[in-house]
């Protein structure tokens, strides 16, 4: 009888897990954390993504585990816990910008990104990689190596890549905060517009 009850509990847990709302984990830095936006929880691009998913009938819960100032090394240290806690079906990986701005070694950044992809896929998640660019004042060689790192990880790991998540935003003062690094409230919908075409094909209704 005891063994039978244990079996029933295991079956019930399995059914419950299968019926749980699938999670999209957004794992990034200040760009995804909504730095400088008064109502980031409602107006940031991640919040807008949750609204769009609901409107279009995609049954996902979006979890924003982004931290302002985060580097790829910091993200790599945090990711195992986030994967264990949220068990995401999709991971949107948006890290690397702070590595570039601090002129950290590009090879190290690339290795950290690759390792985060490996951990995510091992946990059963699909990964979408969001690429970043840095200002040219870091020198042409470093700037180009930084740009290529994202495409190299995406190629090696066979990932969908958005080459520059701030495309058509970064050079538009109307869409950027005064610091010149972070999109303002007007830039958040455009951020989502940049992500959506790459994310949508891997969603399930």
Q: For position 56, which CATH number holds? A: 3.40.50.1110
- DSSP 8-state code for residue 182: S
Low pLDDT (below 50) residues in the chain: 1-18
Residue 12 lies in a domain: no
The sign of the CA dihedral 129, 170, 60, 29 is positive
Would residue 14 count as lying in a domain?
Answer: no
Residue 66: give the domain boundaries.
Answer: 21-202
What pLDDT was estimated at residue 9?
A: 36
User: Position of tokens 């279009």?
Assistant: 56
DSSP state for residue 134 in the 8-state scheme: -
Within 10 A of 200 (CB to CB), how many other CB atoms are there? 12
pLDDT at 205: 63
Known catalytic residues are: 30, 179, 182
For residues 98 and 29, is the Cβ–Cβ distance under 8 A?
yes
Total structural domains in the chain?
Answer: 1
pLDDT score at 2? 42
Residue 154 maps to a domain:
yes
The reported pLDDT for the residue numbered 63 is 98
Q: Give the whole-angstrom CA distance, residue 88 versus residue 117.
A: 13
Tell me the C-alpha distance between 9 and 14, whole Å.
9
pLDDT tens sequence across 35-74: 999 876 789 999 999 999 999 999 999 999 999 999 999 9
Q: What is the DSSP string of 158-174?
A: T--EES-TTTTTTT-GG
- Is residue 6, in this structure, part of any structural domain at all? no
| SS3 (DSSP) at 176 | strand
Q: Report in angstroms the alpha-carbon separations of 149 from 25, 91, 105, 195.
A: 22, 19, 11, 19
Strand partners, 27: 93
Q: What confidence score (pLDDT) does residue 83 get?
A: 98
**What is the rounded distance in angstroms from the CA atom of residue 56 to the CA atom of residue 203?**
11
In this structure, is residue 61 part of a structural domain? Answer: yes
Residue 186 lies in a domain: yes
Q: What share of the chain is helix, strand, coil (3-state, %, to 5)?
A: 55, 10, 35
């Amino acid at each position: 009888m005891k063994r039978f009850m244990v079996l029933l509990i295991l079956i019930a847990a399995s059914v419950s897990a299968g019926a749980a709302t699938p999670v999209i984990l957004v794992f990034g830095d200040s760009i995804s954390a909504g730095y400088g936006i008064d109502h980031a929880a409602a107006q940031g691009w991640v919040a807008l993504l949750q609204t769009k998913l609901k409107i279009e009938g995609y049954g996902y819960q979006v979890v924003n585990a982004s931290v302002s100032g985060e580097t790829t090394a910091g993200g790599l240290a945090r990711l195992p816990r986030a994967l264990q806690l949220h068990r995401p079906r999709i991971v949107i990986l948006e890290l690397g910008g702070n590595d570039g701005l601090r002129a950290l070694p590009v090879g190290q950044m690339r290795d950290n990104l690759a390792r985060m992809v490996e951990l995510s896929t091992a946990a059963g998640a699909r990964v979408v990689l969001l690429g970043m660019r840095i200002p040219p004042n870091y020198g042409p060689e470093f700037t180009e190596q930084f740009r290529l790192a994202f495409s190299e990880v995406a190629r090696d790991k066979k990932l969908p890549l958005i080459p520059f998540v701030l495309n058509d935003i970064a050079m538009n003062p109307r869409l950027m905060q005064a610091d010149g690094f972070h999109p303002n409230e007007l830039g958040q919908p455009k951020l989502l517009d940049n992500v959506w075409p790459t994310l949508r094909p891997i969603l399930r209704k």
